[in-house]
Chain A
């Protein structure tokens, strides 16, 4: 029992460590003063000036477009390849695996430089779409890993049962397999989206005019001096995220017949 107490305490200390800067962030987004570590009274002015700040709004919009499009694409591509690696024997298994590991190993800055050089050589104008392409490239691997993990704990007997009962392979896939690995796909998509929303390095290389995403915008704002507006944006983003995660959780735990919850 004593051991259990220590364990829990350690865990909670770590959680505090994880959330300390975030807490500060949120609290000081309501601070009247600009810079100091001193609380100068509550105010909503930073949130109000956010509403008037179209640089940030444009950046948020860009980040969402890039995030959603690249996540959808990467999730589809990543799920397909995870299925292939998890189910089939084919020549090129090793190659595919290594190919998928590489984007996670290559330092981001190398990938960014390589891509911008490539776009130049291919005479592809930098734009929001070059950012999307870059994000798809580095997201596929993460989706594949997560879905693959889900596949490995998979109980094949359900599929076999469906086939035995006369369902065609495609039907089986749509109505048995897919729903069962859905949590893995969703988890992979969430991971891809998270990585995309927060990417600074690679995006800074390949973004075109007016393709400034939120991290780029934040970085340039941070460079000139932290304004609480940045805090306000982060707090809002955080709030939206938490809501999304809670909703995703509820959806997963909904009708009990839908299989395991996680």
Chain B
């Protein structure tokens, strides 16, 4: 009796002390190489299965992943300090926030031999100068898809989304910044404006638009467009491009001439990541031209990898929805964090939704 009781007490003590020791170690970047595992936290549909399997086959590193469909859970999980991810793939403005909050581990670029494959046009962006913490994964734009038969002529501008004649036929992303981006761009302003008068104008425009909107949806907008529930669907280019490719006579994607959002999702290493060796092995892997091309081919979003281009399917490479022209890109802006103005926008957004 006493023997086993002591054993249990000892085990308990070891567990608690061991746990304690673990906690201490997490204050500084984990020095060790970590294990042959990789914990990813990534957008749904961003990583084709075969790419993952190939990696595990080559290196023996087991990948576990969790999915998210908006940036905020990334912040939430990393801020809580108790989520154990090795790699996350946040969007541009979120990368900046994570850097400011010291939640990311600096990149040791010397460990990556394929770094040179990246297109310099997508490096050294404002949200992460000199790419101290992130590498571009994929990028895209936010325009809208529409039903060509209903529109009867090619569309170029955001105006149909605000036209009362299209009442009940419009879908908007359920995303505060993206909707305000559309309004601000339509009014000819920067989508990162913090001018209260300008923001009010944009909010009024969105309030006028609301009765025309059938639904706000950030998840399967392309399906709602495809099923005929709406004729105009605000959305990200990749999913809409897939739909257009399936039925080009019926659907089209437009990056309006007033300008739109360009966004970039980048891979970053959380500050408390542990499996460092595995992380760099994976980063080098996805920077390889053929692997990167396989990702692009699989998810229909553009990457920033130059030598990957010959391996990308021509239909994707030549699709202006996925690889837009320079002129079109010049009209686009990245969403940046607007600090305290977020609260103002949030109040407007609440008002708009509460109507």
A and B touch in the complex (CB under 8 A): yes
Q: A150–B287 Cα gap in the complex (Å)?
A: 63
A117 lies within 8 A of B80 (CB)? yes
B82 lies within 8 A of A119 (CB)? yes
By a CB distance below 8 angstroms, the chain B residues around A125 are 82-84
By a CB distance below 8 angstroms, the chain A residues around B266 are none
Cβ of B240 within 8 Å of any chain A Cβ, yes or no, is: no
Cβ of B66 within 8 Å of any chain A Cβ, yes or no, is: yes
Residue of B nearest to A223 (CB): B219
Cβ of B223 within 8 Å of any chain A Cβ, yes or no, is: yes
Contact of A126 among B77, B220, B222, B223 (CB under 8 A): B77
Cβ of B135 within 8 Å of any chain A Cβ, yes or no, is: no
Q: Interface 1/0s, chain A 205-218, versus B by CB < 8 A?
A: 10111101000000
Number of A-B contacts (CB under 8 A): 66
Q: Most chain-B Cβ atoms within 10 A of its Cβ — which of A207, A212, A220, A222?
A: A220
Q: A198–B85 Cα gap in the complex (Å)?
A: 25
Contact of A224 among B82, B84, B220 (CB under 8 A): B220
Which residues of B, 195-235, contact A by the 8 Å Cβ criterion? 219-220, 222-223, 226-227
Cβ of B152 within 8 Å of any chain A Cβ, yes or no, is: no
Q: A207–B66 Cα gap in the complex (Å)?
A: 10
Cβ of B67 within 8 Å of any chain A Cβ, yes or no, is: yes
Which residues of B, 41-82, contact A by the 8 Å Cβ criterion? 41, 44-45, 64, 66-69, 73, 76-77, 79-82
Q: Interface 1/0s, chain A 123-137, versus B by CB < 8 A?
A: 111110010000000
By a CB distance below 8 angstroms, the chain B residues around A126 are 77, 80, 82-84
Cβ of B39 within 8 Å of any chain A Cβ, yes or no, is: yes
Shortest Cβ gap from A225 to chain B (Å): 4
Cβ of B23 within 8 Å of any chain A Cβ, yes or no, is: yes
By a CB distance below 8 angstroms, the chain B residues around A116 are 76, 80
By a CB distance below 8 angstroms, the chain B residues around A194 are none
Q: B interface, how many residues as a size bin?
A: 20 to 34
Q: A226–B222 Cα gap in the complex (Å)?
A: 12
B67 lies within 8 A of A220 (CB)? yes
By a CB distance below 8 angstroms, the chain B residues around A205 are 76
By a CB distance below 8 angstroms, the chain A residues around B80 are 116-117, 119-120, 126
Which residues of A, 23-51, contact B by the 8 Å Cβ criterion? 35-36
B83 lies within 8 A of A124 (CB)? no
By a CB distance below 8 angstroms, the chain B residues around A36 are 227
Shortest Cβ gap from A111 to chain B (Å): 15
What is the interface size of chain A, counting residues whose CB is below 8 A from a CB of the partner?
25
Residue of A nearest to B41 (CB): A209
Q: A222–B191 Cα gap in the complex (Å)?
A: 30
By a CB distance below 8 angstroms, the chain B residues around A127 are 84
A209 lies within 8 A of B85 (CB)? yes
Shortest Cβ gap from A99 to chain B (Å): 26
Q: A262–B83 Cα gap in the complex (Å)?
A: 44
By a CB distance below 8 angstroms, the chain B residues around A226 are 220, 223
Q: A59–B319 Cα gap in the complex (Å)?
A: 37
Q: Interface 1/0s, chain A 48-67, versus B by CB < 8 A?
A: 00000000000000000000
Contact of A223 among B23, B64, B69 (CB under 8 A): B69
By a CB distance below 8 angstroms, the chain B residues around A35 are 223, 226-227
Residue of A nearest to B73 (CB): A204
A209 lies within 8 A of B39 (CB)? yes
A212 lies within 8 A of B69 (CB)? no
Shortest Cβ gap from A124 to chain B (Å): 6
Q: A212–B39 Cα gap in the complex (Å)?
A: 13
Q: A124–B45 Cα gap in the complex (Å)?
A: 30
Q: A222–B64 Cα gap in the complex (Å)?
A: 21
A120 lies within 8 A of B81 (CB)? yes
Q: A83–B228 Cα gap in the complex (Å)?
A: 57
Q: Interface 1/0s, chain B 78-118, versus A by CB < 8 A?
A: 01111111000000000000000000000000000000000
Q: Interface 1/0s, chain B 1-32, versus A by CB < 8 A?
A: 00000000000000000000001001000000
A209 lies within 8 A of B81 (CB)? no
Contact of A209 among B73, B79, B84 (CB under 8 A): B84
Q: Interface 1/0s, chain A 101-132, versus B by CB < 8 A?
A: 00000000000000011011001111100100
A124 lies within 8 A of B220 (CB)? no
B79 lies within 8 A of A120 (CB)? yes
Q: A50–B85 Cα gap in the complex (Å)?
A: 27
Residue of A nearest to B64 (CB): A210
Contact of B223 among A117, A130, A210, A225 (CB under 8 A): A225
Which residues in A have some Cβ–Cβ distance to B below 8 Å? 35-36, 116-117, 119-120, 123-127, 130, 204-205, 207-210, 212, 220, 222-226
Q: Can you report 29 A-B residue pairs in the complex whose CB atoms are below 8 A from each other?
A: A35-B223, A35-B226, A35-B227, A36-B227, A117-B80, A119-B80, A120-B80, A120-B81, A120-B82, A123-B23, A123-B26, A125-B84, A126-B83, A126-B84, A127-B84, A130-B82, A205-B76, A209-B41, A209-B66, A209-B84, A209-B85, A210-B66, A223-B44, A223-B219, A224-B44, A224-B45, A224-B220, A225-B219, A225-B220
Give the 5 A-B CB pairs with smallest separation, nearest first. Answer: A223-B219, A120-B80, A225-B220, A209-B39, A210-B64
Which residues in B have some Cβ–Cβ distance to A below 8 Å? 23, 26, 39, 41, 44-45, 64, 66-69, 73, 76-77, 79-85, 219-220, 222-223, 226-227
* Apart from A123-B82, A210-B66, 19 more pairs, CB < 8 Å: A35-B226, A116-B80, A117-B80, A120-B79, A123-B23, A126-B84, A127-B84, A208-B82, A208-B83, A209-B64, A209-B66, A220-B68, A222-B220, A223-B219, A223-B220, A224-B45, A224-B219, A225-B223, A226-B220
